[in-house]
């Protein structure tokens, strides 16, 4: 992705003041009501949503989609190019604890590897120099799935959307549900005769209320499946198939993460499900292999000169333009992390939701040393990543007037195809450098706009 120099060209030309023009056309009261109706229609407990959304250019979305697919291609190349297909060596590089490594090796398969890569979301923070990848999420339960299409549908119901059409612009986004469905169908090997296939939405944590469950049930229902939810630990896995409360299950979809697998799921349950998949008794979506692709330690392989010979000149150029230097925190790298405190942000290698992130400049040197020393000794793995010094300030408005946001874009890649982008917006004046909904950011979808007919 080329450098943009102050990120010019990201937003749709001619529409940076379109909300203000809408207010002039319909009056402040009607515009305010439109804003209120949008929030009421999209409401989800604990999830603030942005409205009106800034509108991006079609060219930028294409470039973002290409970058998202490109980084996934690089991740998928790592085990073969860098480790010669030796998955145990890749696991060792990531510093995975022995018990977890045994489970990962025990459940490895060619089908599992392919399945693990089907659902991904690289996260890009927008900077003045352009988008920069800060992590790549690879997991079946992908954040943003329950936001993207409902957000786009609600936007299309708004008076603001009608106004844009009236002044000659088309605004929209890809059909995420269709792209997810195509990827999902490719993983399901055959439909049972005489009945609708059953998808079991598997939960690992008994305290997980999962506010998005109804949305998932609706999603798989639209694809021709029945959906039931329950605890993965309660499944009956036997020679004749996989059952839940006496009902045959055709697909087990893991609505839980690798961290939850480690904490809540007995290894023998995971092993039995992988064996049942290998025997054709169930489609297990997805095995824990995804954890290997999900680890931020892979960004060290992509950005370190020590591994550059494994990638082409074009790939290295892409990495330099898109991914900040990242390295594992180990006893060998501890001194570099300590001496460059103001340059680095510390992140857990495999956690999510903005948890455990520490910016070097935000803590005292003694605290930084204590945290880093603990990270180097940890069995869960941590990385240091160069801080993005110049985040882009995206212009926007809300009920109180003009605002500026910092932006994190999460393009969804399902089965290798771009499916739309989950967006989080953080108030630039809040001082919050972690752009995550759990840290107060507002959610939405990336909407593009262009003159009608083009």
Q: Estimate to the nearest angstrom the gap between the alpha carbon of 220 and the chain centroid.
A: 20
- Sheet with 226-231, strands from edge to edge, namely 226-231, 198-203, 251-254, 283-285
pLDDT of residue 409: 97
Cα angle value 45/201/137 (rounded, 5°): 70
Tokens found for residue 275: 């064996």
Question: Which residues contact residue 226 at a Cβ distance below 8 angstroms, ignoring those fewer than 6 apart?
Answer: 196, 197, 198, 199
Whether 251 and 283 have beta carbons less than 8 Å apart is answered as yes
Give the Cα separation of 91 and 289 in Å (integer).
10
pLDDT of residue 212: 54
pLDDT of residue 7: 55
Radius of gyration of the chain (CA): 23
pLDDT of residue 124: 97
Number of neighbouring beta carbons within 10 Å of residue 450: 19
Q: What is the pLDDT along the chain (454 residues), one digit of tens a residue?
A: 444 444 558 999 999 899 999 999 999 999 999 999 999 999 888 889 999 999 999 999 999 999 999 999 999 999 999 999 999 999 999 999 999 999 999 999 999 999 989 999 999 999 999 999 999 999 999 888 889 999 999 999 999 999 999 999 999 999 999 999 999 999 999 888 889 999 999 999 988 755 557 788 889 999 999 999 999 999 999 999 999 999 999 999 999 999 999 999 999 999 999 999 999 999 999 899 999 999 999 999 999 999 999 999 999 999 999 999 999 999 999 999 999 999 999 999 988 777 889 999 999 999 999 999 999 988 779 999 999 989 999 998 887 788 899 999 999 999 999 999 999 999 988 877 788 887 888 999 999 999 987 6
pLDDT of residue 2: 42
Q: Which residue has the tokens 């609706």?
A: 218
Give the Cα separation of 147 and 422 in Å (integer).
7
* 219-256-386-147 Cα dihedral, nearest 10 degrees: 20
Q: Which residue has the tokens 């007037």?
A: 401
Phi, psi of 412 (to 5 degrees): -85, 130
pLDDT of residue 447: 98
pLDDT of residue 410: 97
Tokens found for residue 217: 């049930």
HSE of 115 in the Cβ direction (CA atoms, 13 Å)?
28
């Amino acid at each position: 992705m080329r450098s943009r120099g102050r990120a010019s060209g990201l937003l749709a030309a001619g529409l940076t003041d379109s909300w203000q023009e809408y207010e002039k056309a319909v009056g402040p009261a009607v515009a305010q009501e439109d804003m209120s109706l949008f929030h009421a229609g999209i409401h989800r407990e604990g999830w603030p949503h942005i409205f009106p959304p800034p509108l991006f250019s079609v060219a930028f979305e294409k470039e973002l989609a290409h970058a998202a697919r490109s980084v996934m291609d690089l991740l998928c190349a790592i085990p073969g190019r860098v480790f010669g297909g030796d998955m145990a060596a890749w696991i060792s590089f990531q510093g995975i604890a022995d018990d977890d490594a045994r489970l990962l090796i025990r459940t490895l398969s060619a089908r599992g590897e392919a399945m693990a890569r089907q659902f991904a979301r690289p996260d890009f923070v927008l900077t003045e120099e352009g988008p920069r990848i800060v992590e790549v999420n690879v997991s079946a339960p992908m954040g943003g799935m329950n936001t993207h299409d409902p957000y786009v549908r609600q936007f299309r119901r708004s008076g603001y959307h009608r106004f844009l059409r009236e002044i000659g612009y088309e605004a929209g986004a890809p059909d995420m549900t269709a792209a997810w469905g195509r990827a999902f169908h490719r993983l399901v090997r055959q439909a049972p005769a005489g009945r609708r296939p059953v998808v079991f939405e598997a939960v690992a944590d008994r305290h997980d209320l999962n506010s998005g469950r109804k949305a998932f049930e609706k999603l798989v229902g639209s694809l021709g499946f029945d959906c039931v939810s329950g605890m993965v630990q309660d499944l009956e896995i036997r020679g004749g198939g996989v059952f839940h409360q006496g009902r045959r299950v055709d697909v087990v979809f893991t609505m839980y993460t690798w961290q939850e697998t480690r904490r809540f799921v007995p290894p023998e349950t995971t092993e039995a499900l992988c064996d049942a998949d290998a025997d054709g008794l169930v489609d297990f979506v997805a095995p824990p292999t995804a954890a290997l692709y999900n680890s931020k330690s892979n960004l060290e392989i992509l950005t370190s000169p020590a591994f550059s010979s494994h990638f082409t000149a074009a790939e290295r150029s892409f990495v330099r333009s898109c991914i900040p230097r990242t390295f594992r925190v180990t006893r060998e790298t501890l001194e570099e992390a300590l001496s460059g405190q103001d340059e680095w942000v510390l992140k857990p290698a495999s956690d999510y939701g903005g948890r455990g992130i520490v910016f070097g400049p935000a803590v005292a040197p003694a605290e930084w040393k204590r945290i880093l020393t603990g990270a180097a000794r940890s069995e869960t793995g941590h990385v240091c990543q160069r801080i993005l010094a110049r985040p882009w300030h995206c212009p926007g408005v809300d009920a109180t007037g003009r605002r500026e946001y910092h932006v994190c874009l999460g393009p969804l890649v399902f089965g290798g195809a771009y499916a739309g982008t989950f967006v989080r917006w953080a108030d630039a004046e809040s001082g919050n450098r972690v752009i995550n909904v759990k840290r107060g950011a507002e959610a939405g979808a990336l909407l593009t706009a262009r003159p009608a007919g083009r």
